[in-house]
Amino acid sequence: MIGVFDSGVGGLTVVKEIKKILPDAPIIYFGDTARLPYGNKSQETIQKFSSEIAEFLKKKGCRTIVIACNSASALAADYLREIYPDLKIYDVVSSGAEAAVEATKNKKIGVIGTTATINSSVYKKKISELDPEIEVFTKACPLFVHLVEENWIKRPETRKIARTYLRELKLNKIDTLLLGCTHYPLLEKIISGVMGRRTKVIASGEKLAKELEKTDLETGFPSEDEYFVSDLTPHFEKLAGKILGKRVKILKIEI
């Protein structure tokens, strides 16, 4: 059984990629909608929230956990691996960095993410470890999470904000743009439109799903997926259905 968590709805983009490759793998999802965004919070707070969620998922029977939140991946992944050595813990940062390195031709990669993710420099470190010759240009885009959570995906205001955020990355002539937040794939059309055809836009979900495919996952669990949130809103329900391509039952719980 795979546990997946994020600060909100964005992690469902990772769930979607996992289900494409592992359609029979049961998933328990938790979106911490009452406490989002994580991107403007301290490392201590993000580690606290992440450990509470990991404990919940463990009690639900998950032995494999996917951190589908870049801020939590950057600031809490190693912490969770230390306090839960019995769990297999995957994070979107490692997967995203590998996918970007594989994609770039001119060795110029752009990374966009929340303020916490960008300030951590985790992507620069991961990419440099894989290929020290690659130049990495980063940009914090904190408003993107709010725009997605408010379902402003097709609004002209969102396109204007994207142009402002991405202007300097275009000037750096990157050929690969890594979406360092799982909310951002929901804005991929706008982002790709702003960046142009010469820039390949990369999300981490597909790469992570392929990594899970190589793992021996536990069997014998009920096949029905479960979805939980810390605060249930109409926006979440609507976006969840749009991302997953079907309506799903979502339960509000306190952890």
| 181 catalytic per annotation | yes
- DSSP one-letter string for the chain: -EEEEESSSTTHHHHHHHHHH-TTS-EEEEE-TTS---TTS-HHHHHHHHHHHHHHHHHTT-SEEEE--HHHHHHHHHHHHHH-TTSEEEEHHHHHHHHHHHH-SSSEEEEEE-HHHHHHTHHHHHHHHH-TT-EEEEEE-THHHHHHHTT-TT-HHHHHHHHHHHHHHHHTT-SEEEEESTTGGGGHHHHHHHH-TTSEEE-SHHHHHHHHHTS----SS-S--EEEESS--HHHHHHHHHHHTS---EEE---
Catalytic residue among 69, 99, 116, 243: 69
Residues 6+ apart with CB under 8 A from 160: none
Closest CA to 32 of 240, 226, 183, 230: 230
Catalytic residue among 62, 67, 181, 209: 181
β-strands 2-6, 200-202 pairing: unpaired
Residues catalogued as catalytic: 69, 181
